[in-house]
Chain A
Amino acid sequence: MKLKEYIKDKSYAFFLFLLFLFLFSLFLFAFKLDLSFILILLMLYIIFFFLLFIIDFLRKKVFYQKLLSWTTSLDKSYLVLELLEEPNFYEGRILYQVLYEINKSMIENIGIYEQQTIDFKEYVEMWIHEIKIPISSLVLMNHNHKGKFPVEAIQQIKRIENDVEQVLYYVRSENAEKDYLINEVSLKKVVSEVALRNKDDLLENKVDFIVDINETKVLTDSKWLEFILNQIINNSIKYKKDQGDSYIHLSIKETEKEVTLEIKDNGIGIVTSDLKKVFEKSFTGQNGRKKAKSTGMGLFIVKRLCEKLGHQVNISSVLDEYTKVTIIFLKNHYYDVLK
């Protein structure tokens, strides 16, 4: 609250007061009163007039100053009322009450949307569990009645499975709720799950799967990590070169503070101008157009999940040579002590 602005706001009062002083002095002069008496009288008027405004200014300043500075400095400015005390002057109390009511109605409104989002998420999760039952049936039928199903059928089923899973993790990654569980997880075990899931695809596409991973354990959610690796490996298979021997190489580097998992392929690579955008939502880029199958969601979800789990994910590539994705897991020494 600035003094200058305050005075400007009260200019009509100053104007009226000056007018009053002028008329009043004229009046006093007209009665031929003693000059010193007139001056003392005017001085008293002026002093009390200014006192009135200074006191008023100071009372308001304390409240408004806090309101203004906290509103701008808080990252969630709607919480400002939680910090403010109700002021002791009339206008301030009106403002305070109004803000309180607005806040309340806003929170109620957000609550409705929040509930809707939660309901929707629960519905999607439930639906995904339901849809997995017919998918499982199809996989089993296909296995039990070889020959009745065309070979392509199983690939299509697998595509459905992957796309369905993507929806599940998209919903999970977008939700504020914490539905992961950090645990000590063997990288070898997660990689083996992902390898088995993609075995047919890898063999079919003649992509060699090379794993140099020891017994290292990392702190993560194994199901989320499985999804993340699955997306990356699916991309490597999808964007392999048409000619020559293809491979995907998984390796780890370990330091005092972190474990880095590297997934490198010798696929078609990514153009430099696309590289920094691959984690963006719905970004497909040149490769997506070339292979014409991309939704641009896979890596976006991967990035979101990594952020939630506290892992760092990076990508580097040279066109026509390789693509390399690294995931960095931080070590938690506090956790070691707890054991």
Chain B
Amino acid sequence: MKKILIIEDDKTIQNELLELLKGAEYEGKALQDFENAEQEIIKENPDLILLDIHIPYLNGEILLQKIRKKSNVPIIMVTSKNTEADELLSMMYGADDYITKPYHPNILLFRIANILKRLEEHQENFAYKDIMIDKEHGILKRNQIEVFLTKNEMIIFSYLVSHKNKVVTRDELMTTLWNNAEYINDNALTVNISRLRTKLKEIGYENEIETRKGYGYILG
């Protein structure tokens, strides 16, 4: 389980973020001692840090610089300061991403997942059961049978695979698609999923994607 450190002084947001991270199966931890932020962070040794600019004792940007001197841990700035200058400054100081409040929770989770995934580059070609997935060319291959997926179908299938055995909501799928600049509507999503099912059937996996009415879909 990846450990994510939250540096945020507003208690309500802190708690809600912890809950959000827990729901997404991350180990969330909120920094309590802002006075010794630097040492605390090193001690916690997180996989990723969510850092607010307005925090007690220290300015987030300064803390960012200090962390960068000692560690390459991925840092996402989460802040209500939404000027171009603030963003540029943060990126210059070594932040990996910059999100302004109020953000959509799913989008925040996506940005986190993206950054963590970037660290595990070798993920490009992966597999599901005995299906080989060639993401780049949009090919699923099993026992010498190949099916071609469209870009949208591949985005949906990869998301389902990385969340297998878990219920994936339509909203999560939509957010993934829109995040990849595929601005499709509800009908198109339904069509894409049924076409994906047909293609999976062609390589011998019928009823692999189950519909959970009122919740979403589940693979596996």
Contact = CB atoms under 8 A, between A and B. Distances in A.
A133 B183 contact: no
A144 interface: yes
A244 B83 CA distance: 39
A181 B17 contact: no
A210 B81 contact: no
Nearest to B181: A192
B174 interface: yes
Contact of A161 (B20, B102, B183, B185): B102
Interface string A188-224: 1000100111010011001011110000000001111
Interface in A117-135: 128-130, 132-135
Given A137-B12, A144-B19, A196 B101 contact: no
A128 B107 CA distance: 22
Interface in B170-220: 174-175, 178-179, 181, 183, 185-186
A147 B185 CA distance: 24
B104 A196 contact: yes
DSSP class of A's interface residues: helix, strand, loop or mixed? helix
Given A137-B12, A143-B20, A208-B185, A132 B102 contact: yes
Interface stretch (B41-49, B60-68, B84-92, B128-136): B84-92
Nearest to A135: B102
Nearest to A179: B83
Q: Interface range on chain A: under 10, 10 to 19, 20 to 34, or 35 or more? A: 35 or more
A305 B102 CA distance: 22
B103 interface: yes
A125 B19 CA distance: 29
Contacts of A137: 10, 12-13, 16
A157 B102 CA distance: 10
Contacts of B102: 132, 135-136, 138-139, 157, 161
A188 B183 CA distance: 12
Contacts of B183: 195, 202, 208-211
B54 interface: yes
A143 B17 CA distance: 10
Nearest to A157: B102
A140 B17 contact: yes
A183 interface: yes
A221 B84 contact: yes
B72 interface: no
A134 B16 CA distance: 11
B107 A129 contact: no
Given A140-B13, A192-B181, A223 B82 contact: yes
Nearest to A221: B84
A186 to B, nearest CB: 11
B36 interface: no
Contacts of A199: 104, 174-175, 178
Given A129-B81, A144-B16, A223-B83, A139 B105 contact: yes
A70 interface: no
B162 interface: no
Nearest to A180: B84
Interface string B25-40: 0000000000000000
A141 interface: yes
A195 B87 CA distance: 20
A333 to B, nearest CB: 23
Contacts of A196: 104, 107, 175, 178-179
A127 to B, nearest CB: 11
Contact of B101 (A132, A181, A211): A132
Contacts of B185: 203, 206, 208-209
Contacts of B23: 144
B88 A129 contact: no
Nearest to B87: A223
B84 A192 contact: no
19 contacts: A136-B103, A139-B103, A140-B19, A144-B16, A144-B23, A181-B83, A188-B181, A192-B179, A192-B181, A195-B181, A195-B183, A196-B175, A196-B178, A202-B183, A203-B185, A203-B186, A209-B185, A223-B84, A224-B84
Interface of B: 10, 12-13, 16-17, 19-20, 23, 54, 80-85, 87-88, 101-107, 174-175, 178-179, 181, 183, 185-186
4 smallest CB-CB distances across A and B, nearest first, come from A140-B16, A132-B80, A209-B183, A143-B105
